[in-house]
Structure 1
Amino acid sequence: KRHQWNQNKVLTSVQKIVENNPDAEIILTTSRRTPAEFVDILRQQSFAQHLHIFPVDQTPQGWIFEEMQKAEAVWVTEDSVSMIFEALTAGCRVGVMAMDRLKDDRITHSVDQMLESKLISQQTYVVQLPQPYAFKEADRVATYLLAK
């Protein structure tokens, strides 16, 4: 385990995202690792009225990826590196919400490298997030296979 859940840090990040993007339609979903009580606590916050909240257990398989295809920007907690890459692959601007790190390893270093290279950002304003950089992994693999 490389990160520890910090509810206040996540709530503060979500609040800043809501406040800094008043004209945006903001959809929030959880992951299987999100503590069960988080959604109830989130719904009690005054800023939650500006969110469309979809707990992961109430969404069909593939829903998040369909939503990402339509989104201009996606914010992900930094512990979910696979979701960061999914958002980048979908061609979204990607923001990360900092989490409490328990240790540094190749995964946390990869997040740091993406931040340093400005593929992702900790900004909470959509317009301050890096321009989308589509990875186009499927195209790259297809080109590689066709070259064989």
Structure 2
Amino acid sequence: MPQANHAKPLSICFVHDDRIGHQKQLRGLENQLMKRALCTTHWVDQQSVALLNHALRFDICIGAGHKTHWPLWRLARRHRAFSVVLMTPSLPMFLFDAVICPRHDDPKASSRVFVTKGPINTIQHLTTPDRKPYENAPDRSPQHNLILLGGPSKHFNWSSERILTTVKQLVRHDTDLPWLLSPSRRTPDTTIERIKAELPRLRFLSANHDLDQAIHRAKQVWVSADSSNMIYEALSAAKPTGVIELATRHKLFRKNRLRNELERLYRENHVMRLADLSPESDINNRQQTGLHEAERATEWLLMRYETWRSKHEGQDV
């Protein structure tokens, strides 16, 4: 594992918006940077960048979300800092020194672009990419099966009936461990009420539960098709991951990039459908190596930063 070599800690500023998903991506990158480099971190809302103490000096500025792009660019320029964007920027790509984005964004090939399978997340891995356990990894033997629900989205047609039917089939298929269900803020109340009425023994997780922990303690994780971030969190935790299918919203003259990415995950055998289950199938036979995208992206970012720093050391950037 490469370690950045600096006489003093790297000063890193994370520019965020109000979206939890974007903040989780930044937090996942921060976790890995702190494992691999001596650094101090500072977080600032995109609306407050101009109010930052001018005595602060940053080596690297990182942002996620379209609202952060202009403030991030101005901040990096002011500090002569290395600029990093998570996801495809709304500004011309050449304005930033590094771009880390998921492949479903279909980014153009470039030396400044690193492509990941799905967005970065905060899942802490228990094994290395070659399936060796990390030292002092906690015991997280399976305690339950887990269902994660999203809600109406611009990519999929939400159907309470379809969700209910699938949940009932899953609960009937595997009775070895209890089933837990975690709705999101987008999940319609009508969907939750119908599931509770027809499956009164199904346990619902509270809104403030630790989702990362629930994923780690799951034997298997099933996620509604609209919730791509949660699909990748389950895959990052190396859990057998199923997708609760929903009908795609048809877009004239536009590709449904999330549907296309799901199909790619099916072809790569990363995820399964309900149709893949049979009375004889054993979920334990599905071996998952897990996705280590935050680690891969961090190693690439530090190497690119070192190249950039060597080139610009002693110069005005």
TM-score under structure 1 length normalisation: 0.85
The structure number with the bigger radius of gyration is 2
Q: How does 1:1-148 map to 2 (within 5 A)?
A: 1-45=154-198, 47-49=199-201, 51-54=202-205, 58-60=206-208, 63-103=210-250, 105-123=256-274, 124=277, 127=283, 130-147=286-303, 148=306
- Is the CA contact 2:164–2:194 (under 8 Å) kept in the aligned structure 1? no
The aligned amino acid for 1:115 is: Y
Question: What residue ranges of structure 1 are gaps of 5+ in the alignment?
Answer: none
Percentage of identical aligned residues: 25
Q: Which residue number corresponds to residue 4 of structure 2?
A: none
- SS of structure 2 residue aligned to 1:27: strand
Q: What SS does the corresponding residue of 2:204 show, helix, strand or coil? A: strand
Q: Which has the higher helix share?
A: 1
Gap change, CA 1:31 and 1:129, over 3 Å in 2: farther
Query: How far, CA to CA, are the matches of 2:176 and 2:245 in structure 1?
Result: 24
Gaps of 5+ in 2: 1-153, 307-317
Q: How far apart in 2 are the matches of 1:99 and 1:133?
A: 26
TM-score normalised to structure 2 length:
0.42
- How many angstroms does 1:40 deviate by? 1.6
Q: Could you tell me how far apart the structure 1 residues matched to 2:245 and 2:268 are?
A: 17
**Equivalent AA in structure 2 for residue 91 of structure 1:** A
SS in 2 for 1:37: helix
* 1:68–1:52 distance in 2 versus 1, CA, 3 Å: same
Greater CA deviation, 132-141 or 87-96? 132-141
Answer whether contact 1:4 1:101 (CA < 8 A) is retained. Answer: yes
Q: Secondary structure at the match of 1:72?
A: strand
Q: Alignment partner of 2:272: what SS?
A: coil
Instruction: Letter of the 1:94 partner, please give it.
Output: T
Query: Which secondary structure does the structure 2 equivalent of 1:31 belong to?
Result: coil
Q: Which residue in 1 is equivalent to 2:87? A: none
Deviations 1:46-101 (A, max 9, x none): x442x2112xxx3216x112211111211000111111111111221100000121
Paired residues in the alignment total 142
Q: 1:120 to 1:26 in 2, by over 3 A?
A: same
Question: What is the alpha-carbon distance in structure 2 between the residues aligned to residue 121 and residue 131 of structure 1?
Answer: 12
Measured in 1, the distance between the counterparts of 2:285 and 2:257 equals 24
Distance apart, 1:42 and its partner CA: 0.8
- Contact 1:119/1:133 (<8 A) preserved: no
AA in 1 matched with 2:174: N
CA contact (8 A) 1:120 1:129 kept: no
1:93–1:129 Cα contact (<8 Å) kept = no
How far residue 126 of structure 1 moved from its aligned partner, in angstroms, is: 5.8
Secondary structure of 1:28's match?
strand
Return the alpha-carbon distance in structure 2 between the equivalents of residues 132 and 24 of structure 1.
20
Q: Which protein has greater RCO, CA pairs closer than 8 Å, 6+ apart?
A: 1
Give, as a single letter, the amino acid of the residue that structure 2 aligns with 1:136: H
TM-fit CA distance, 1:129: 7.5
Pairwise CA distance, 1:128: 7.3
